[in-house]
């Protein structure tokens, strides 16, 4: 499993010009799932994301997590994170899990984040979405479960 984490001042996802998820301060997550991923990967990443200390404390040091700041999460499924661009000009997405495997794992990841007390908004799995955010810092990290 792979998650791109962006610390944000706000983020929003729309489908057909309708807002389906919106947060203020927190984390914008792009979540990719590959064939070998299991619930263990989802748990590892949910724990990592919830505890990731990338918000500044009173001294200006990145020392606080999204949990500690009362921030929210916007989680969007993103199979293109497993696009392989090494050959040719068109990405190969063979490493991305099929929807019937990926969607339940994506939902489990979000459930695990909520279980930790986080507000989690989501995109619409498998839909064409428009995502916007104000990246704060900017701070962008990529975390893999393997």
Out of 6, 34, 79, 109, the active site residue is 79
Residue 16 backbone phi and psi in degrees, to 5: 50, 45
93 is catalytic: no
Out of 55, 78, 109, 122, the active site residue is 78
125 is catalytic: no
Catalytic residue ranges: 78-80
């Amino acid at each position: 499993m792979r998650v791109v984490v962006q610390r944000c001042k706000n983020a929003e996802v729309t489908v057909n010009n309708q807002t389906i998820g919106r947060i203020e301060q927190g984390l914008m997550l792009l979540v990719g799932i590959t064939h070998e991923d299991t619930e263990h990967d989802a748990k590892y990443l949910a724990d990592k994301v919830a505890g990731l200390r990338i918000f500044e404390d009173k001294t200006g040091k990145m020392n606080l997590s999204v949990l500690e700041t009362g921030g929210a999460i916007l989680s969007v499924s993103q199979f293109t994170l497993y696009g392989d661009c090494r050959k040719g000009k068109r990405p190969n997405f063979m490493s991305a899990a099929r929807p019937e495997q990926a969607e339940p794992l994506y939902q489990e990841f979000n459930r695990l984040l909520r279980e930790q007390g986080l507000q989690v908004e989501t995109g619409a799995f498998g839909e064409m979405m428009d995502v916007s955010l104000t990246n704060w810092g900017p701070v962008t990290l990529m975390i893999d479960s393997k």
